Chains A and B, each alone.
Chain A
Amino acid sequence: MGEYSLLIILFAPFLGAIALIFIPRQEELMVRMTAAISAGISLLASFYIFFAYDPIKGGFQFVQRFAWSEELGIAFYVGVDGIGGPLVFASAILLFAGIFVSWHIKDRTKEFYIFLLILAAATIGVFMSLDLFFLYFFYEMSVLPMYLLLGVWGSHTKGYLSMTDPEGLKLRDSVDFIFNFGSNSKEYAAMKLVLFLSAGAVMALMGILLIYHMSGLHTFDILVLREQAKFTDTMSTLIWLLIFFGFASIAPIWPLHSWSPVGHAAAPAATSMLHAGVLMKLGHFSIIRVGFEILPEATRDLMWIAAVLCIGSIIYGGLVSYFAKDTKYIIGYSSSSHMGYIFLGMASLSYISLSGAVIYMFAHALATSMLFAMAGWVYDQTHSRDIPSLGGLSEKMPFIAGAFIVGCMASIGMPGTINFVAEIMIIVGSWDKYPLQVVVAVLGIVLTMAYMFKMMRGLFYGKLDPEFAHTADAKNWIDRMPLILLIACSIILGIFPGHFYDVVSSTVEPMIDRINQVAPLVTQNSQGLLP
């Protein structure tokens, strides 16, 4: 089954979604179990590829290729390298955890799980695509379920809900109101997210089509393109910019980030987890897969753009998080601030920093999804995300409080968690090239510490409002399991990062060599991977 594991990872959630269509909606337990089983299969298979990936051999492994349209030069071509593999693993973990986190959703459970499974499967599809067409196909496919997940099962912000006077009620349900930037209803968040991401996607699509045509190869095969595609300088700069800003809008790089915290805040817990955990990494991943692989020269010349913009991400995101009052906003902005670290790691183009960036993607996925899961729990219990009105919840929910502290620590990058490994690698690896940004990044860590502690104190310590006396802790194994899973992965990999690092560096080192023109590309053919 080894060689088919990628297909299993990808199609288990899809088939689960199809199976759900035929399950009657009254059978809620069966709906949940089906979703959980299909995600479980996916998780097991991705666990296998994560550990079975051979770092000595390197390159793309578990490759599967099926002709799809000869006419257009498209093949269904999947495989993972040291970057895609861990991210596929992260997506599968998050999907599995997300299904259990949303176990208590009552409204239209069936549709919720269908869209959640499609979202996760599409994300997984991007991480394993070796064909530009399918990379875009899955990328675009992951955007739309977000609209419904946010719009239907999401939650409004406080300002929106406070409009209860007749005039306000009429206003807040009108379409025009969606364009009102002060409002932040869930519909607004969902629409903003889709339009931003679609705009980014079509930009990237223009770049992809230019690669397709200008390379003269008329193929979407990434492996062929990275070996044979040659562009003029102007053209490769243009394509690189389209690809970079197109995909960076989902990453989201400052100043294209504004859809993201709004989206996080409106989304239900499981969706925020997948959104912050893996959906945002689609951006970094696609920049690496398309920009770094196919346009190495332009990457070397232009990656300073990311290094400049990441300052904005880190500082702006951090400051907004510090002053925000809404838990999900804080976590959302902290995510967008932490994305700056990944861009810094990518921009430095050294072995250590890029490996660090990849590991950070994984680490951030675990840490931030823990926080979202618990913010979701707190919201479900108290129906509030407003920190000033909360407080003292540790009395009522000690387990959640404990896990939340671990999540905050992981987010800050405490030694022992995988985030620490990643942060150190980015900081050390970037020092030579971008000392200023490293200083900013370290300040960013201090800032992270400040707002995380502030949030912890605001939520769990201080005086308990009697209004929240009825709130309950996560007592069932179903509620605790996803958190324990995420924490365990974060800590185990944090203490034993050896294999993970080997896997990542086996891919990163030849890539960096090629970008810095130290060594030419070692083709897959010479490794005997392709017939």
Chain B
Amino acid sequence: MQFNLSLTAADLILLMPEIFLTIWLCVILALDFSLKRITHQQLAYLSIAGLGITALMLFIFDQNGTTGALFKDMYVLDHMAILFKIIIVGATALVLFMSIDYVEEFRFFKGEYYFMVLMSAIGMMFMASSNDLLSVFVTLEFSTFGFYVLVAYLRNDQRSSEAGLKFFILGVFAAGLLAYGISLVYGETGTLVFSEMAGTEGSYGLAIGFILIFAALGFKIGAVPFHAWIPDTYQGAPTPVTAFLSLAPKAAALAILLRMFFVALASFKPMWVLLFVVASIFSMTYGNVVAIAQKNIKRLLAYSGIAQIGNIMIGLAAGTKQGSDAIMFYLLTYMFANLGAFAVVIAVSKAIKSDEIEDYNGLNRRSPFLAAAMLIFLLSLAGVPPLAGFIGKIYLFIAAMNQELYTLLIVGLINIVISMYYYLIVVKKMYINEPTDSSPIQTSLPIKVAVYAGIAGTLLLGIYPGPFIDWAVDATLMFSNIAGPTASLPAIPGG
């Protein structure tokens, strides 16, 4: 295989957002080192400005239809990649807004925190564009790199170190699985590019290879049975990092999953549909049932995240263009609701120094704003109209219904009721219970920005989702003719 790495100016344009962000990142690091007087807040706002410019660039690309492929299709920038990148950039910006207060408490390496976050963001932006198993491996490891550091950022906190170690060991294990899977797939097909794999003959080597790759990506998105690291890591990591971890890597990994299964493996659809149906049912049920027993809000959100990924996998199980549209729309809704919820968690824990759900008692009396925001976010996660999560869930269910996945639908619907219970328990603490300490809670401006952005997004996507649905629909035109099942595994010899 020969790579043609010579780039023309037109090719460089496609890489512009990443190149710009990389330069910006270096500037921020340089400023942090060279200017003694620069505060970490200024660095944060600089980073957010850089992300804003990147998002603007992506938006212009989307409007002008600036798309294309680079490096022999290893890197593609299509509308789907742009949409995923916008989600990642948006999530990163929201996370930075919530970080400002939190970073204040760090003893050292305040500036480097922003560097790490941006670096992971760049890695995930590349992930959204990778169209080749090799670039999947490289970009995935690149983005995870930053997270290994970020999760263990609270050096004096045992939980944070434990979380970092758990995340690291399991992450490296997943990377090993991924590399093994890639080698198997390459051995069977002789190619690494997704689009060239479409239509290959089925074989057990290929099947095992892809299952291993799925396992590695399942680790990223936190699907059952690859979820074991999630609760401890979420609880131990600094809360803004948890928020970041709960959304951006999932979005990036979903982009890869969509490309891998909807393009490369389109001809094996009946088999992977079963895989996703099973993974989805287990993720939803496990996440929701275990969330009931949680006493810590970060753990609760961790388990709810597992359940949400189960919901998202309904779209993968549908295996249609509508399914992928629904996934992208759901990710948008999930971004606002989930990041908003974490922003409230940060604001509350700053005031009361606790993440226990018990300490949310009477939040409505202490800060009506935070309580109302949390109410909106939790209900959106539970899927209550007129909030965004409701439309997202209905969209996924419609996609599944059109594929007649009845078992999955029934389990999904039952899970809505289960999830309602534990979200409402938090609501009960906030609204019904009386506070033990009724001093009001003040919220700083950056957190307010993040919370308001979350509320605005949750309401807008819930009440007027039309344009956003159309956006998602336009982004996945390439899936509009997913090949029907043509290939199958060979019969087991003698079996």
Q: Do A and B bind each other?
A: yes
Residues of A within 8 A of B (CB): 25, 67-72, 108, 111, 133, 137-138, 140-141, 143-144, 147-148, 151-152, 175, 186-187, 190-191, 194-195, 198-199, 202-203, 205-206, 209-210, 212-213, 218
B401 near A209: Cβ-Cβ < 8 Å: yes
Highest count of chain A CB atoms <10 Å: which of B390, B417, B431 = B417
| Shortest 6 CB-CB contacts between residues of A and residues of B | A202-B413, A151-B432, A209-B401, A141-B385, A137-B385, A213-B401
**CA–CA, A190 to B431, complex, Å?**
13
Interface pick from B82-90, B206-214, B422-430: B422-430
Given contact pairs A137-B385, A140-B385, A209-B409, A195 touches B398 in the complex (Cβ within 8 A): no
Count of CB-CB pairs between chains A and B under 8 Å: 83
The one of B397, B409, B432 that contacts A152, using a Cβ cutoff of 8 Å: B432
Highest count of chain A CB atoms <10 Å: which of B416, B421, B428 = B428
B417 near A198: Cβ-Cβ < 8 Å: yes
B458 contacts the other chain (CB 8 A): no
B402 near A133: Cβ-Cβ < 8 Å: no
A108 near B413: Cβ-Cβ < 8 Å: no
B470 near A71: Cβ-Cβ < 8 Å: yes
**CA–CA, A25 to B372, complex, Å?**
14
**Interface digits, B20-50 against A, CB 8 Å rule (1 contact, 0 not)?**
0000000000000000000000000000000
B469 contacts the other chain (CB 8 A): yes
**Interface digits, B377-391 against A, CB 8 Å rule (1 contact, 0 not)?**
001000011100010
A198 near B401: Cβ-Cβ < 8 Å: no
Number of interface residues of B (CB under 8 A): 34
B416 near A198: Cβ-Cβ < 8 Å: yes
B424 near A194: Cβ-Cβ < 8 Å: yes
**CA–CA, A198 to B431, complex, Å?**
20
Nearest A residue to B464, CB-CB: A68
- Which of B447-495 touch A at CB < 8 Å? 465-466, 469-470, 473
* A177 CB, nearest partner CB in chain B, Å: 12
A144 near B413: Cβ-Cβ < 8 Å: no
Q: List 15 A-B contacts (CB under 8 A).
A: A69-B465, A70-B466, A108-B364, A138-B385, A140-B384, A144-B384, A148-B427, A148-B432, A187-B428, A191-B428, A195-B420, A199-B417, A210-B401, A212-B398, A213-B402
A205 near B413: Cβ-Cβ < 8 Å: yes
**CA–CA, A25 to B394, complex, Å?**
36
B395 contacts the other chain (CB 8 A): yes
Residues of B within 8 A of A (CB): 325, 364, 368, 379, 384-386, 390, 394-395, 397-398, 401-402, 404, 409-410, 413-414, 416-417, 420-421, 424-425, 427-428, 431-432, 465-466, 469-470, 473
A198 near B420: Cβ-Cβ < 8 Å: yes
- Give the interface SS of chain B, mostly helix, strand, loop or mixed: helix
* Other contacts beyond A140-B385, A198-B417: 14, CB < 8 A: A67-B466, A71-B325, A72-B469, A140-B384, A143-B384, A152-B431, A195-B417, A195-B420, A202-B414, A209-B397, A209-B398, A213-B398, A213-B401, A213-B404
By a CB distance below 8 angstroms, the chain B residues around A143 are 384
A206 near B431: Cβ-Cβ < 8 Å: no
By a CB distance below 8 angstroms, the chain B residues around A67 are 466
* B323 CB, nearest partner CB in chain A, Å: 13
By a CB distance below 8 angstroms, the chain A residues around B402 are 213, 218
By a CB distance below 8 angstroms, the chain A residues around B390 are 137, 140
By a CB distance below 8 angstroms, the chain B residues around A133 are 394
By a CB distance below 8 angstroms, the chain B residues around A147 are 424, 427
Highest count of chain B CB atoms <10 Å: which of A69, A140, A186, A194 = A69
A151 near B469: Cβ-Cβ < 8 Å: no
* B228 CB, nearest partner CB in chain A, Å: 26
A191 near B384: Cβ-Cβ < 8 Å: no
**CA–CA, A141 to B459, complex, Å?**
13
**CA–CA, A507 to B46, complex, Å?**
64
* A217 CB, nearest partner CB in chain B, Å: 12
* B365 CB, nearest partner CB in chain A, Å: 8
**CA–CA, A143 to B421, complex, Å?**
13
Given contact pairs A141-B384, A151-B428, A209-B398, A71 touches B473 in the complex (Cβ within 8 A): yes
B409 near A69: Cβ-Cβ < 8 Å: no
Nearest B residue to A148, CB-CB: B431
**CA–CA, A403 to B2, complex, Å?**
91
By a CB distance below 8 angstroms, the chain A residues around B425 are 175
A202 near B417: Cβ-Cβ < 8 Å: yes
* B354 CB, nearest partner CB in chain A, Å: 18
A71 near B469: Cβ-Cβ < 8 Å: yes
By a CB distance below 8 angstroms, the chain B residues around A212 are 398, 401
